[in-house]
Chains A and B, each alone.
Chain A
Amino acid sequence: MPAEARTDVLVVGAGPAGLSAALAAAQSGAAVLLADLSPGPGGQIWRGATANDGGESGSLLREVQSQPNITLLYGAQVALTEMVPGTGRVVQFSGPHGPHRVVPEKIILATGATERFLPFPGWTLPGVVGAGGLQAMVKSGLDVRGARVLVAGSGPLLLAVATGLREHGAKVLAVAEQASLPQLLGFGLAAQRSGKAGEGARLLSSLRGVPYWPSTFPVRASGAGRLERVQLGGLVRRTLDCDWLAVGFGLVPDTRLAALFGCALEGDAVKVGAWQQTSQAGIYAAGELTGIGGVDKARLEGLMAGCAATGQVGRLRDLPTQLEHAHRFQASLSRSFAPRPPLQRLPEADTLVCRCEDVSHAALQTCTSWTEAKLQTRCGMGTCQGRVCGPATETLYGWTFAGVRPPLLPLPLSDLLEDSLKGDPL
Chain B
Amino acid sequence: MPEALSLTVAGRSVQVPAGASVLAALQTAGVLTLRHSLNVNNPSVDNPSAGPRGALCGMGSCFECRALVDGVQVRTCLTPAHSGMTVTLLDGEDAR
What is the bound-complex CA distance between A387 and B75, given in angstroms? 15
Q: Please give the distance in Å from A210's CB to the nearest CB on chain B.
A: 21
- For chain A, residues 117 to 147, give those with C-beta under 8 angstroms from any C-beta of chain B: 117, 121-130, 132-137, 140-143
Structural contact, A125 and B59, CB atoms closer than 8 A: no
Structural contact, B78 and A38, CB atoms closer than 8 A: yes
Structural contact, B58 and A117, CB atoms closer than 8 A: no
Task: Specify the main secondary structure of chain B where it touches its partner.
Answer: loop
Known: A142-B24, A355-B64, A358-B39. A133 touches B52 (CB 8 A): no
- For chain A, residues 203 to 261, give those with C-beta under 8 angstroms from any C-beta of chain B: 220-222, 225-226, 254
Chain A positions within 8 Å of B49 at CB level: 121-124, 350-352, 360
Known: A140-B20, A384-B63, A388-B61. A355 touches B77 (CB 8 A): no
What is the bound-complex CA distance between A311 and B21, given in angstroms? 40
What is the bound-complex CA distance between A351 and B83, given in angstroms? 40
Structural contact, A127 and B54, CB atoms closer than 8 A: yes
Flag whether B11 is at the interface (Cβ < 8 A). no
Chain A positions within 8 Å of B17 at CB level: 141
Structural contact, B52 and A225, CB atoms closer than 8 A: yes
Chain B positions within 8 Å of A352 at CB level: 37, 42, 49-50
What is the bound-complex CA distance between A38 and B44, given in angstroms? 38
Structural contact, A226 and B52, CB atoms closer than 8 A: yes
- For chain B, residues 9 to 48, give those with C-beta under 8 angstroms from any C-beta of chain A: 16-17, 19-21, 23-25, 27-28, 32-34, 37-42, 44, 47-48
Chain A positions within 8 Å of B20 at CB level: 140-141
Known: A129-B58, A132-B59. A350 touches B47 (CB 8 A): yes
Flag whether B80 is at the interface (Cβ < 8 A). yes
Q: Which of B16, B21, B33, B57 contacts A115 (CB 8 A)?
A: B57
Structural contact, A140 and B32, CB atoms closer than 8 A: no
Flag whether A26 is at the interface (Cβ < 8 A). no
Chain B positions within 8 Å of A225 at CB level: 33, 51-52, 96
Known: A122-B49, A133-B57. A356 touches B28 (CB 8 A): no
Structural contact, A141 and B21, CB atoms closer than 8 A: yes
Structural contact, A358 and B40, CB atoms closer than 8 A: yes
What is the bound-complex CA distance between A384 and B28, given in angstroms? 25
What is the bound-complex CA distance between A133 and B66, given in angstroms? 15
Known: A37-B78, A355-B64. A130 touches B58 (CB 8 A): yes
Question: Which residue of chain A is the closest to B73 with respect to CB atoms?
Answer: A410
**Tier of interface size on chain A:** 35 or more
**Tier of interface size on chain B:** 35 or more
Chain B positions within 8 Å of A383 at CB level: 63, 66
Structural contact, A387 and B77, CB atoms closer than 8 A: no
Chain B positions within 8 Å of A122 at CB level: 48-49
Known: A125-B48, A129-B55. A137 touches B42 (CB 8 A): no
Known: A133-B56, A225-B51. A140 touches B77 (CB 8 A): yes
Structural contact, B51 and A137, CB atoms closer than 8 A: no
Known: A387-B62, A388-B61. A130 touches B56 (CB 8 A): yes
Q: Please give the distance in Å from B96's CB to the nearest CB on chain A.
A: 8
What is the bound-complex CA distance between A351 and B61, given in angstroms? 21
Structural contact, B37 and A137, CB atoms closer than 8 A: no
Chain A positions within 8 Å of B57 at CB level: 114-115, 117, 129-130, 132-133, 136, 388
Structural contact, B59 and A133, CB atoms closer than 8 A: yes
Flag whether A264 is at the interface (Cβ < 8 A). no
Chain A positions within 8 Å of B58 at CB level: 129-130, 132-137, 140
Flag whether A332 is at the interface (Cβ < 8 A). no
Structural contact, A355 and B51, CB atoms closer than 8 A: no
Question: Which residue of chain B is the closest to A38 with respect to CB atoms?
Answer: B78
Q: Please give the distance in Å from A234's CB to the nearest CB on chain B.
A: 20
Structural contact, A141 and B24, CB atoms closer than 8 A: yes
Q: Please give the distance in Å from A295's CB to the nearest CB on chain B.
A: 17
Chain B positions within 8 Å of A360 at CB level: 41-42, 49
What is the bound-complex CA distance between A272 and B44, given in angstroms? 48
Q: List 6 A-B contacts (CB under 8 A).
A: A39-B79, A125-B54, A130-B57, A134-B58, A137-B55, A358-B40
| Residues of B bordering A, CB below 8 Å | 16-17, 19-21, 23-25, 27-28, 32-34, 37-42, 44, 47-64, 66, 73, 77-81, 96
